Structure 1
Amino acid sequence: MTYRADEDFLNPPVSLTVSPDSPAAGSAVTLTSTFTNSTAITLRGTVLYLAAGGSARAIPLGDLRSGASVTRRFRTTLAADAEGEVPFLAHALFDVHRSGSDCVRASSSALLPYRSLPGAFDNAGIASDDALTVANIDGSASSLSAQALASAGLTPGAVVTYDGVDFTWPGTAPGNHDNVVCSGQTVLLSGSGSRLAFLGTSTWGLGAGDGTVVYADGTRQTFSVSVPDWYGANPAAAVVLPYRHIATGRDDNPVSLFTFGVDLQDKELASLVLPRVSDGLVSGVPALHVFAMTVV
């Protein structure tokens, strides 16, 4: 049967599974994909592309008659320094007639631990006073002022001390990712100490949620945080800035940054699961932003 331009063409299905489903950096993964020609015509010159992170393989399948089903696998090793979201993809490309082709795809991903807090940064919360639109800390185009932060000693890469704890402020220029919106991400830790301390703030209300400290011996310690909203001069704040940016310009109302944390057990650290306060940044939904953390 040949393809007719006026007939309905339902894309044939392609599946994708990844094993193991929770891989680690530097580990081997196997992608398995099945492509089925569920159309009424022969799909010609079919090629299946399988990709994992930065590795990919093109697998020629040739001409597939109607009803044919083919399964192929691709085994590769993730990069030793892989972190965060690693995408997996199955993409089939095929000709439906002499001058036309089509494609279908399936995708998934795995969320690997971040190697450091800066690696987990996913939000730009700081803008310069002369370029307000490069940052958006709350989902409604508001931001911290780089100049107001500098007046409090919070310049890129600066070491500041609050409540007897040294923090390193993000060494990023305005408009770049400078904080992580706490959504349950995992960050690797090392060493030991008596307390894990954070420097951050919340937007759209109280940033409250539960996190987990994981120790090298496999034990887990759950903790809770409850961080006030950034708006206003909060007497419990570590830093109060005289103004902020909003979508229409400068807002001469103060905003606050806070320190908070969890007391640790006397054991070697392995990782931190950040509190799940929100699923990303959404205007009107409370979100907790962490700019720096340290073990003391």
Structure 2
Amino acid sequence: MKRILLAALLAAGLVVPARPADAAVTYPDLAAAFDNAGTSPAATPAAADLDGFGHSLVAEDSTAAGWDRGRAITVDGAQLRLPAAAPGTPDNVVADGQRIAGRFAGAALSFLVTSTGAGTEGTGTLEYADGHTQDYRLSVPDWITGPGSRLTVAFPRWNTPDGPGAAPAKLYTVSIPLDPGVPVTALTLPKAGSGARLHVFSIGTRPTAGPWTATWATATDDGLAAGPWTERTLRMVEHTSRGGSQVRIRLDNAYDPGPLTVGHATIAVRSVGAVPVRTPVTLTFGGRKGIALPAGGQAVSDPLPFSVPAGADLLVSLYLQGTVTNAPMHSVALQEMYTTADGTGDHAGDGVAFPSAGTFGFWTILSGIDVTGPGSTGAVVAFGDSITDGYLSTPNTNSRWPDFLARRLPGRAVVNEGISGNRILQDAFSGYPDGRTAGVNALARLNHDLISQPGVRTAIVLEGINDINSGTSAEDVIAGLKEIAAELHAARIRVLAGTLTPIKGCTCSSDAHLAARNQVNAFIRDNGGVFDGWVDFDAAVRDPADPEAMRAVYDSGDHLHPGDAGYAAMAAAVPLGRL
């Protein structure tokens, strides 16, 4: 009777088949531990069984997304080598305490993972060359029902026993901060809880920044339905904070369901409009002129000797080869950009003759510009919502508060990772191209947008007002801020929290919202060591006669966002000695 009941539960998918423990075995590398075939051809679904019930990834969908077998893909700054295994052969290991030997050195260890049966989590151990150990925890959502905000890539189908079916089959990347001075020589995989299986496909490292520091960066807030664009060149404007003698750019295809190809990329110092001071210089990728970005993948250009002035405008031009139907974007650039017409091809190297056929107001594909040079003391990353994004500041003038802060810090890098509408706890973008432009929640984007920034030393976090205005309690906002601080400290990043600016008179506010804002601000000012300091943005812009409201001279007019003068006052309130 018990055997009949167990068989029925297995058939219904209510029990995951048990696996024998394998904790005593040490494998020379991850591939040697592979024990599960998770990918099958569309025509032969029985060739693989990822979840124990006959479901698997579709090999053709992986290839279509640019996730070719054996390819090295960069995610969150870490290089992950995809399994070289043919479809129908083992390409992942179900984590169960296996010990993996190897040498891993860098700023972080990244795992390409997914979970079947349900989301799961577990604790493993890192062993360092000097003998000390470090416990780490992997928390991995389910491959089908998990949130889009956490995904690295989502394939459109899964293979069922009856063939491909529509379902978003997801892979995720989880990064663990490392001791940067000592290599890891072995790791023990977690033992997942009962009822679910944690699958590991690849392990890689994010290198330390070395001499590189971000001088400009932006965050992806949406997957843009792009036109489509066909054979055109985009010329985008970026304002530097720190100068340098070498430059490289970072490209990002985050949240894009398909690959795209940048056929040619150039950089120049801007004169006016789309016109460079001198002929743009070609950037290469592994010595090649172009680069194919897989869905969810990144690329970093080769170092280029190039004099980057501080506080200047650069022009980065990207020739988009073929047709691009989706691309990641930052929607509130507050900067005019330039594009050629469809079908005109490669004009990335053009100078005065750049054939601009129109303008647009967002950044796309380009996520960062890094420089090297003497005297770097680390980058400051401004991490927040629309108030950090500079919403309602004057376009084309670089009047966001991080821009004003950069002018107070000559020789220091300040980069802006604000997203208008962003929240700490709730997604305002699903992780799929859906027209919403407020980004995934701050906790979900923390590693991608902040921790992985080259040379980051200090973060100024200004988040929470959109949570409050959408009904989230002050207690939950405070808990989210504590979690952000803990993750940043684990990555050896200093954290300054910004008090939330006044909202009285805004159509989004209520008496309950005002009270919640005051409760969060009271915690920030007396946080008991959760943060390394705080910035009193509230005091900088509030009306002394009515502290719940913004001072009129600083108000943009909507009683929520400052104007240019208000953003300047916020920057002036930052204690430079804390950075």
Instruction: Report if TM-score (shorter chain) is over 0.5.
Output: yes
Kindly indicate whether structure 1 or structure 2 has the higher relative contact order, using CA contacts under 8 Å at least 6 residues apart: 1
Does 2:157 correspond to 1:243?
A: yes
**C-alpha deviation, 1:268, in angstroms:** 2.3
Contact kept, 8 Å, 1:182 with 1:278, in 2: the verdict is: no
Instruction: Give per-residue Cα distances to partners, 1:3-27, cap 9 Å, x unaligned.
Output: xxxxxxxxxxxxxxxxxxxxxxxxx
Q: Among 29, 50, 72, which residue is 1:159 paired with?
A: 72
Does 2:126 correspond to 1:213?
A: yes
Instruction: Give per-residue Cα distances to partners, 1:164-184, cap 9 Å, x unaligned.
Output: 222111001001000010001
Q: Among 87, 108, 115, which residue is 1:202 paired with?
A: 115
Cα separation, partners in 2 of 1:191 and 1:287, compared to 1, 3 Å: closer
Q: Specify every segment of 5 or more residues in structure 2 that has no aligned partner in the other structure, as ranges.
A: 1-19, 207-579
Does 2:187 correspond to 1:294?
A: no
Q: Among 124, 130, 145, which residue is 2:43 paired with?
A: 130
- Counting matched residue pairs gives 184
> 1:126 corresponds to which letter in structure 2?
T
TM-score by length of 1: 0.59
Contact kept, 8 Å, 2:120 with 2:141, in 1: the verdict is: yes
In the alignment, what sits opposite 1:61?
none
Higher mean alpha-carbon deviation, 189-198 vs 167-176, is at 189-198
**C-alpha deviation, 1:253, in angstroms:** 1.4
In the alignment, what sits opposite 1:274?
189
**C-alpha deviation, 1:163, in angstroms:** 1.8
**C-alpha deviation, 1:150, in angstroms:** 0.7
Cα separation, partners in 2 of 1:228 and 1:110, compared to 1, 3 Å: closer
Matches within 5 A, 1:34-45: none
Cα separation, partners in 2 of 1:216 and 1:146, compared to 1, 3 Å: same
Cα separation, partners in 2 of 1:186 and 1:110, compared to 1, 3 Å: closer
Counterpart CA distance in 2 for 1:191 and 1:248 is 41
**C-alpha deviation, 1:278, in angstroms:** 4.9
In the alignment, what sits opposite 1:12?
none
Moved over 2 A (4+): 109-112
> 1:249 corresponds to which letter in structure 2?
G
**C-alpha deviation, 1:149, in angstroms:** 0.6
> 1:256 corresponds to which letter in structure 2?
K
Counterpart CA distance in 2 for 1:268 and 1:242 is 38
Contact kept, 8 Å, 1:183 with 1:278, in 2: the verdict is: no
> 1:128 corresponds to which letter in structure 2?
P
**C-alpha deviation, 1:261, in angstroms:** 2.3
> 1:290 corresponds to which letter in structure 2?
V
Higher mean alpha-carbon deviation, 159-168 vs 128-137, is at 159-168
In the alignment, what sits opposite 1:33?
none
> 1:244 corresponds to which letter in structure 2?
W
Contact kept, 8 Å, 1:211 with 1:272, in 2: the verdict is: yes
- SS of the residue 1:208 aligns to: strand
> 2:134 corresponds to which letter in structure 1?
Q
Contact kept, 8 Å, 1:200 with 1:292, in 2: the verdict is: yes
Q: Specify every segment of 5 or more residues in structure 1 that has no aligned partner in the other structure, as ranges.
A: 1-84, 86-108, 280-284
> 1:203 corresponds to which letter in structure 2?
T
Structure (1/2) with the larger helix percentage = 2
| Identity among equivalent pairs (%) | 35
Matches within 5 A, 1:1-296: 111-232=24-145, 234-265=148-179, 266-278=181-193, 285-296=195-206
Cα separation, partners in 2 of 1:248 and 1:113, compared to 1, 3 Å: same
Structure (1/2) with the larger strand percentage = 1
Q: CA RMSD in A?
A: 1.9
**C-alpha deviation, 1:254, in angstroms:** 1.2
Contact kept, 8 Å, 1:153 with 1:160, in 2: the verdict is: no
In the alignment, what sits opposite 2:371?
none
Counterpart CA distance in 2 for 1:274 and 1:117 is 10
In the alignment, what sits opposite 2:334?
none
> 1:193 corresponds to which letter in structure 2?
G
> 1:150 corresponds to which letter in structure 2?
T
Counterpart CA distance in 2 for 1:268 and 1:199 is 20
- SS of the residue 1:156 aligns to: coil
- SS of the residue 1:271 aligns to: strand
**C-alpha deviation, 1:286, in angstroms:** 0.7
Cα separation, partners in 2 of 1:168 and 1:111, compared to 1, 3 Å: same
- SS of the residue 2:150 aligns to: coil
> 2:185 corresponds to which letter in structure 1?
A
